Structure 1
Amino acid sequence: MSSTPRPAALIVRQASPPNLEMPFHTLDERITSGAGHYVRSHFPAPELNAQDWRLRLGGLVDSPLELSLEDLKAMPPHTLTATMECAGNGRLYLSPRRPGVQWDLGAVGTAEWTGVRLSDVLERAGVTPGALEVVLEGADCGTLTDPGRTPGEIHYARSLPLSKALDDVLLAYAMNGQPLTRDHGFPVRAVVPGWYGMAAVKWLTTLHVTGTPYQGFFQTVDYSFWAFRDGLSPQMVPINAMLVKAQIARPAPHDAVKADSSCEVTGAAWTGNGNVTRVEFSGDGGQTWADAELLDAPQPGVWRRWRALWQTPAQPGPVTLLARASDSAGRTQEDGYDAGRGGYMINFPLPITVHVQTGEA
């Protein structure tokens, strides 16, 4: 991307536990640095050491396992690139205000993850007939009162359908070629390509194969939404795959731009199913749209950076910029927000207000 990004420093949305976001206007490379990748924490980061850490696998398996970090590293390693977005990214744009961390645009990033395929670990244990889901539990624990009150102290845990667990899920011990940091889940975390970040359980210690749908707090009370299915009344279902979405990186919100000039607009777009196939840009609040240039080759589960040239208005004043993406599954971002999603899955075109000024901006 040709324009020069500003120096990066993670924005603190919550100090303890740390919830930090990337200043999205610093987007430049396709791979986000470990230091620049957003951090989402529900409870304080546990103190774990590589020597004593163990991963325990039980439930509907032939042979329960207890694996050390060295045991995992002795298995065939795999590296994948994945864009990960917090399910609440963009919550700041909702009105009325929704509960939860007030993320702006930067609770998203793309990294190269190295580890062991979850399918290889499950194969070693031998999944028995009747298995439906795999529950992933982390060492982090605590209590919450928002969005609901936990029944005392609980661990962070989510489940995956067995079909997803046997597909492309990684048990990662490295990020961009370096061991995981504590904030990013040292020593091992899950990476679930195409899904929102709540599925990527950090500080992973337990895998449990179950024959019934998991009904834990972060599967039902939190990270769930109302959906219409089978012609029935709305049902609460767990959040999973990322929706198609484009975001504008530069100009940043409330930037000043020079009137009657050519301005390069840059950003990124991603989707949880297939590839991004098109990004459109509007420099007049959605009255007209033009195709943006996609800068990266398509790669499932990985964002594509884009750019567009915008001829700014001759008259000074505020202007609303918008971007929208389409994907290979035939989906395009739509205006409006589904209130049934609560404060999650925010994928309507987000309005970026900039200020056109005469003279040097």
Structure 2
Amino acid sequence: MNDQQIRNGKIVRSAEPLNLEMPFEKLDGFITPTELFYVRMHYAIPKIDRTKWRLRVEGEVERAFELNFDELTKLASKRVAALLECAGNSRIFLEPKVSGVQWGLGAVGNANWTGVPLSILLDRAGVKQAAREVILEGADEGPAELAGGPHGKVCFARSIPLAKAREDALLAYKINDVDLPAEHGFPVRAIVPGWYAVASVKWLQRVIVIDRPFNGYYQTLDYAFWKRVHGNPELEPLRKMPIKSEIAQPMEGETVPVNSKVRVRGAAWTGEGEVAKVELTVDGGATWNETKLDEAKPNAWRLWEFDWQTPATAEKRILIARATDSKGRTQPAEHDPDRGAYMINHLLPINVEVR
């Protein structure tokens, strides 16, 4: 790639708004370095003064309140490892081509996040009995009509069920033990483990408890897919990540030596349960081999590797990884067209040349 396509070690998928992808072949450990973690934006980065920032908690609560950054960081905190994946990760592999950021394999990362459990703020506010969902609203805003939405500016906002908000949602102010950089949501962002990163709203400014389903633009018209209910399609917001695996090395189009041991490695993840096994084929699906898995940790990816004895003669090979989770779900062979440009977890072949 030329210099214009790379910025600080990441692939530039769009310059305005800024969307940067980690070259997935740089996967080198359980935690993704902050400088390599992918960046997804819909609008320009909002300029926020931490000393003036406030978070408002309101809606179906007994005691609406707001707090500043220092007050938030004095509350009980947690540090959790969690994976974030853009709902359009791997979109570049779809045929025919679809609209949207043309992500390859690297719109995904695993980081340590430090912050305050959302449940602490909800308890302080006193959630009313009728409450059903919690809206997370960011400070980033722009014209939705550019994406076929309504005219005028909209804030980026998503909702999660009250039960999920109480279970493990986090208001994070650190990534990998440093303050959030601006592109990752400074000063505070949400982390919703197990769900696509669209739910982990950045530049958080309001938490709104509601008593009905949220129908915001980025909840319904965008970041939604068709779910079949009794055979009939119904629009459903993107939520939990399905089981998925990706090969980091060797890379697409790479040449590997004949009659040698080549370490094939990658990562697998799921939004529910845990990754139970990852199989690898080095002959386009004719045979499958079980890979060696690292320790399983909740809401994070599981690294895997396999020592491949390459053929003794020069030839082309197709490598494919296939993951299965603890609930028995295995990656599909093909993309479900009802998912449109999202939830891309089908088998992704890597073509290599042995010579």
Common fold by TM > 0.5? yes
Residue 237 of structure 2 aligns with which residue? Answer: 238
Q: Alignment length, in residue pairs?
A: 348
Q: CA deviation at 1:17?
A: 1.6
Could you list the per-position Cα deviations for residues 133-186 of structure 1 after superposition, in whole angstroms to 9, with x for gaps in the alignment?
001110000014465233321110000011101100000000111000000000
1:88 alignment counterpart: 88
Q: Percent identity?
A: 48
Question: After TM superposition, where is structure 1 displaced by more than 3 Å over at least 4 residues in a row?
Answer: 144-147
Aligned residue for 2:137?
137
Cross-structure match for 2:3: none
Deviation at 1:29, TM superposition (A): 1.3
2:302 pairs with 281, 301, 304, which one?
304
Partners of 1:148 and 1:232 lie apart in 2 by: 28
| 1:69–1:284 Cα change, 3 Å | same
Q: Which runs of 5+ in 1 are unaligned?
A: 1-7
- Structure 1 residue 313, shift from structure 2 partner: 2.7
Asked whether the equivalents of residues 88 and 342 of structure 2 are also in contact (C-alpha less than 8 Å), the reply is yes
Deviation string 1:71-106 (CA, Å, 9 cap, x unpaired) is 111110111100111111000100001110000000
Structure 1 position 205 matched with structure 2 position 208:
no
How do 1:308-347 residues align onto structure 2 when only pairs under 5 Å count? 308-347=306-345
Matched residue SS, 2:331:
coil
- Which residue of 2 is the match for residue 293 of structure 1? 292
Conservation of the 8 A alpha-carbon contact between 1:148 and 1:222: no
Q: Tell me which residue corresponds to 2:167.
A: 167
Cα distance in 2, alignment partners of residues 226 and 118 from structure 1:
30
Residues of 2 paired with 1:152 and 1:63: CA distance?
A: 32
TM-score (norm 2): 0.96
- What are structure 2's unaligned runs of at least 5 residues? 1-7
Shift of 1:319: 1.8
Match of 1:218 in 2: 218
Normalised by the length of structure 1, the TM-score is 0.94
| 1:266 counterpart SS class | strand
Partners in 2 of 1:151 and 1:243 — Cα distance?
A: 33
RMSD, aligned CA: 1.1
Decide whether the 8 Å contact of 1:99 with 1:147 is kept in 2. no
Contact 1:100 1:147 in 2 (8 A): no
The answer as to whether partners of 2:134 and 2:161 remain within 8 angstroms in 1 is yes
Q: Supply the distance in 2 between the matched residues of 1:19 and 1:110 (Cα, whole angstroms).
A: 17
Q: Distance in 2 between matches of 1:180 and 1:225?
A: 31
How far apart in 2 are the matches of 1:77 and 1:236? 36
What displacement does 1:318 show? Answer: 2.8
What is the DSSP-based 3-state SS (H/G/I as helix, E as strand, rest coil) of the residue aligned with 2:184? coil
Query: What's 2:5 paired with?
Result: none
- Measured in 2, the distance between the counterparts of 1:148 and 1:32 equals 34
Amino acid at match of 2:220: T
- Matched-pair contact (CA < 8 Å) for 2:145–2:152: no
Distance 1:337 1:171 in 2: 33
User: What is the rounded CA distance, in whole Å, between the counterparts of 2:119 and 2:41 in structure 1?
Assistant: 26
Q: Distance in 1 between matches of 2:191 and 2:231?
A: 33
Pair 1:55 & 2:90 matched: no
What is the aligned partner in structure 1 of residue 102 from structure 2? 102
Q: Which residue of 1 is the match for residue 227 of structure 2?
A: 227
**Residue of structure 1 equivalent to 2:125:** 125
1:54/1:234 Cα in 2 relative to 1: closer, same or farther (>3 Å)? same
**Alpha-carbon contact 2:145-2:151 (below 8 Å) kept:** no
* 1:21 alignment partner AA: E
Q: Residue 146 and residue 264 in structure 1: after superposition, are their counterparts in 2 closer, same or farther (change >3 A)?
A: farther
The one-letter code of the counterpart of 2:268 is A
5 Å matches for 1:15-30?
A: 15-30=15-30
Q: Does 1:355 align with 2:353?
A: yes
* Shift, 1:54, TM fit: 0.4
